[in-house]
Amino acid sequence: MTVPHSTAPASGATCSSAALTAALSLPAGTAPSNVPYPKTIKSFVRRAGRTTTGQAKAFEDLGPRFVVPYTAALLDATALFGRSAPLVLEIGFGMGEATAHIARVRPQDNFLCCEVHEPGVGALLKRIGEQGQTNIRIVQHDAVEVLDHMLPPASLDGVHIFFPDPWHKKKHNKRRLIQPALVAKLAARLKPGGYLHCATDWQPYAEQMLQVLSAEPLLVNTAEGFAPQPEYRPLTKFENRGLRLGHGVWDLVFRQRPSAID
Ligand SMILES: C[S@@+](CC[C@H](N)C(=O)[O-])C[C@H]1O[C@@H](n2cnc3c(N)ncnc32)[C@H](O)[C@@H]1O
């Protein structure tokens, strides 16, 4: 399934991928200058949210098997999943709709999925139970710390960051996940040829993503600017609603340069 992307910019300004790419292309390693990047990212606030009875039951029944406690020690993914398979990290899966779909259409891959919002974790556990999935594990913790302490270099075949909080206000932009330091960490944890796939429906953030990812020396863009929506990423309810309202959606797929780390 390939859908048109970048067709209706959020701000009403026209946004062609090629024009944006040209305007945003920076020499490798150059950080864009108009965004204040902090040393550490606090990309979320803990939201209040009710865990439903079904989610609570899923926690009880499935939590012990599918939720991995955060520890500051490197993860043994083969032991964790009970098999050796390509490993994809997802950061911020929300209610897990896309996560469960992707894990279903890619049974050959293992998915390590981070989310801090408890009802979201319950919701994904519920889907795992309903769909009998075995290739997902959840860490209910800040993905930045998971990345720092649980994942060694060259351990990931892919990273998914779908619709990360856009932190619209200028003074909150520093909370955005996609900024040079985090992208450098992600890139270093990818295997050669491994991919980083981001998607957003907020044009200024899409522009920032393109700028930051293009400036990371370990990464290379798979497209001329924004990418066509990869088939495995479904249109979620949230995204469909946005598209009906005329919002655009931008996908970015970068790969680690094959000879970047020897
Ligand atoms: C806007 S939601 C998008 C959810 C989902 N990816 C989707 O497409 O519907 C962003 C999610 O990322 C989570 N999040 C933000 N920063 C995070 C972090 N550092 N570690 C784990 N989860 C995070 C938030 O709790 C929130 O649920």
Residue 29: CB atoms within 10 A of its CB come to: 11
Within-domain flag for 51: no
Best residue among 112, 114, 116 to mutate for probing ligand 1's pocket (most ligand atoms within 8 Å of CB) is 116
Residue 252's DSSP bridge partners are 198
Residue 6 maps to a domain? yes
CA distances from 73 to 94, 149, 220 (A): 25, 6, 30
Q: How many separate domains does the chain show?
A: 1
What CATH number is given to the structural domain containing 131? 3.40.50.150
Out of 163, 247, 250, mutate this one to test ligand 1's pocket (max ligand atoms within 8 Å of CB): namely 163
Is position 151 within any domain?
yes
> 47 pLDDT band (50/70/90 cuts)?
confident
- Residue in the structure block whose two tokens are 């992208």: 183
Cβ atoms within 10 Å of 256's Cβ, excluding its own? 25
Q: Does 165 qualify as catalytic in the annotation?
A: yes
Residue nearest to atom 13 of ligand 1 (CA): 92
For residue 200, give its domain range: 1-25+86-251
Residue 44 lies in a domain: no
- pLDDT tens digit string along 190-248? 999 999 999 999 999 999 999 999 999 999 999 999 999 999 999 988 889 888 989 89
Task: Tell me if 17 is assigned to some domain.
Answer: yes
Look up residue 208 and give its DSSP letter. Answer: H
Q: Looking at residue 260, what is its pLDDT?
A: 54
Residue 68 lies in a domain: no
Q: Count Cα neighbours of 77 within 13 Å in the Cβ-side half-sphere.
A: 20
> Helices 203-215 and 17-24 sit at what angle, rounded to 10 degrees?
50
